[in-house]
Structure 1
Amino acid sequence: MTAMRAMRPEDLQAVLAIQLACYGTGFVEDGALIVRRLAAAPRTGWVVEHAGRVAAYLAAYPSRVGKLTALHGDFEVLPETQADALYLHDLAVDPAASGHGLGPALVRHALAFADTAGWRRSALVSVQSSLGFWERHGYAVHALADAAQQARLASYPAPAHYMVRT
């Protein structure tokens, strides 16, 4: 059985374990940082429980197109009324649960949430050869004109691509 729900602080250990399994040590973000992010954007973090445990998660927040979070950076959450996009910062599925459509289900859920909130766009940074996955979900590479945002993008190991979906 599979169930999607809001991410909670008690999910932290499962999220950290999924990060490590998916990304390796270079991408794993600190537990205290994840807790701060969840507190900053509690309505836009979700997990999927599969086979009795947290098997996938998505951490997102209200933002504006052209603005992104650096790797290991805090979320700069906009008030929902000022946002024009949902920024998807981190989507990961435990490799043991791959093939069950958990990642795409989380993306669909997030986009439906964004639509309900009135945000017609979504943005993210594609890493670890995930470009094709995101393109299949309607995202396209988007140039960043602002030098500060380009520096944030450069905080991710290459290749990293800023992408937007309208």
Structure 2
Amino acid sequence: MSVKLIEESDWEGILKVQAGAYEKLGPEALEVLKCKWRNLPAANFVHAKDKVVDAYLIAHSWNHQVPPKLHTLLPENIHGSILLLHDLAVSNTVAGLGVGSKLVAHLFNAARLMKFAEIRLVSLRESVAFWQKMGFVEDSKVGACPGYGSGAKVMYRVLSACTDAA
């Protein structure tokens, strides 16, 4: 099993993982996901075994404390000092095996190399504890858009050059 940057050939697998992970919220359109990927390809990863995608992480540059809404294309001129972790999804076939943590560790390394000082995300209610274990804290001043469901929280993690380890 390995982690690699997302390539064009990975999208079919990404969409399958997304469909299984977000039955309640509904999957985002391929066009929306690719828009976020194209913004910062070096911060987007898949986990695969035998070339079959079983998890993915999509992140992009952002310039505001409030994350963008779900199901929308990114506006122009959004490059900024914040790395927004848009989505992490893991299929049931590898759930509980540390794959999500592995993808996040790759993102932390990429973020430091690209000189991002902060990563922000919207955590769904059921994943808050996972993100807390990864060093994220709630930003109580910023609310998540209603499309994320009740209990969703905006969270952030400040990166330091020498002390972070996933």
Bin of the TM-score, shorter chain as denominator length? 0.7 to 0.9
User: Residue 156 of structure 1 aligns with which residue?
Assistant: 148
Q: Is the 8 A contact 1:85 1:122 kept in 2?
A: yes
* Alignment deviations for residues 53-79 of structure 1 (CA, whole Å, 9 cap, x no partner): 111100001224513121112234644
Which aligned pairs between 1:84-163 and structure 2 lie closer than 5 A?
84-144=81-141, 150=143, 153-163=145-155
Aligned to 1:63: 62
Aligned to 1:38: 37
Is the CA contact 1:153–1:162 (under 8 Å) kept in the aligned structure 2?
Answer: no
Q: What is the CA–CA distance in structure 2 between the aligned matches of 1:106 and 1:128, rounded to whole Å?
A: 20
CA distance in 1, matches of 2:100, 2:140: 25
Give % identity.
Answer: 25
Counterpart amino acid of residue 105 in structure 1: K
Q: Could you tell me which of 118, 133, 157 is aligned with 1:165? A: 157
Residue-pair matches, total: 157
Name the SS of the counterpart of 1:60 in structure 2.
strand
Q: Is the 8 Å Cα contact of residues 65 and 123 (structure 1) preserved in structure 2?
A: no
Q: Is the 8 A contact 1:66 1:144 kept in 2?
A: no
Secondary structure in structure 1 of the residue aligned to 2:93? helix
Provide the alpha-carbon RMSD of the alignment: 1.9
CA contact (8 A) 2:57 2:103 kept: yes
In structure 2, C-alpha distance between the alignment counterparts of 1:17 and 1:140, rounded to whole Å: 30
Structure 2: unaligned runs, 5 residues or longer: 159-166
TM value normalised by structure 2: 0.85
Q: What is the CA-CA distance between 1:106 and the residue it aligns to?
A: 0.6
Residue 52 (structure 1) shift = 3.9
- Structure 2 contact 125–153 (Cα < 8 Å) conserved: no
d(CA) in 2 for partners of 1:54, 1:119? 27
Shift of 1:129: 0.9
Q: Distance in 2 between matches of 1:125 and 1:94?
A: 19
Unaligned runs of 5+ in 1: none
User: Larger deviation: 54-63 or 26-35?
Assistant: 26-35
The answer (yes or no) to whether the contact 2:39–2:61 under 8 Å persists in 1 is: no
Helix, strand or coil: the match of 1:49? strand
Aligned to 1:3: 2
